Amino acid sequence: MGSIDLNLLSLGFVFVLIGIPLALDLIFKFGLTKNILQSVLRMSVQLLLIGIFLRYLFLWNNPWINVSWFLIMVITSVFSVVKNTPLRLKTIFFPLFLAFVLPTFFLVIYLNFLVLHLKHIFDARYFIILAGMLLGNCLRSNIIALSSVYNQIKSYPKKYLYLLSLGASTYEAILPYLTESVGLAVKPFLATMATMGIVALPGMMTGVILGGASPEIAVKYQIMIMFAILSNGLLAVVLGILFTLKSCFDDFGCLKNQVFKS
């Protein structure tokens, strides 16, 4: 059972929907027209391109190409994290790259091999799609966690330095910050998990059901993806903070000033 394809006329009707926010904006003057049109355009072009791209990715289904694309996705995520945190690209690129690649790669292979029993564990349909879902979450969690840790130490240096004076190593002194930032990063996701199915039907499940699968299969996939996202997100946040310590703190255990964007 496949999903119903949308022909041009159907797509036209989809775009008519954009008329609703635009009309509301016209009446109430939210000042969002430019924003809405920009986002609509960006999303449509990006999705169109990725649609074409995925089509070929699935068609070739070459492990090397798939892994290369995976690495490009990781690099893009790392750039996005850097853009949204106060830290410099040069300082944290490599540590974050590792913090993203290691857990995501491991988890996707784990799912493909042990859970989905794929013959080809790099099968684009699973490898790329699952990695994308995991990375999206890594990205959000790491932005929250890294910003929290480094902004706090920068704003209240004495709190951190006091711990060093009490005998803490850099790693020991960072632990309270790690605890707090992990909480900040993971709690929203845990809340989503706890209300899942009652408050909202998650995107992936909706997709699988619309794609023609039975709700039971959709539920199993959803559970799989949620557990993977949770593990991957936590692991990537912890590794992200631990891996950046070396480049962000000097040998005296003090936060380097030049790690921040000027």
Under the binding rule (CB under 8 A), the answer on residue 13 touching another protein is: no
Under the binding rule (CB under 8 A), the answer on residue 176 touching another protein is: yes
Length of the chain counted residue by residue: 262
Question: Which amino acid belongs to residue 258?
Answer: Q
Under the binding rule (CB under 8 A), the answer on residue 167 touching another protein is: yes
Q: Compare residues 179 and 206 and give the one whose CB is closer to another protein.
A: 179
Q: Which stretch binds another protein (CB under 8 A): 38-46, 139-147, 152-160, 184-192?
A: 152-160
Q: For residue 1, which of 214, 212, 215, 218 has the smallest C-alpha distance?
A: 212
Under the binding rule (CB under 8 A), the answer on residue 162 touching another protein is: yes
Under the binding rule (CB under 8 A), the answer on residue 161 touching another protein is: yes
Under the binding rule (CB under 8 A), the answer on residue 169 touching another protein is: yes
Among 7, 155, 165, 195, binds another protein (CB under 8 A): 165
Helix (H, G, I), strand (E, B) or coil at 114: helix
DSSP string, 155-210: H-HHHHHHHHHTT--HHHHHHHHHHHHHHHHHHHHHHHHHHBTTTB--HHHHHHHH
Binding mask 211-250 for another protein (x = CB under 8 A): ---------------------------------------x
Under the binding rule (CB under 8 A), the answer on residue 65 touching another protein is: no
- Residue numbers at the binding site for another protein (CB under 8 A): 156, 158-159, 161-169, 172, 175-176, 250-254
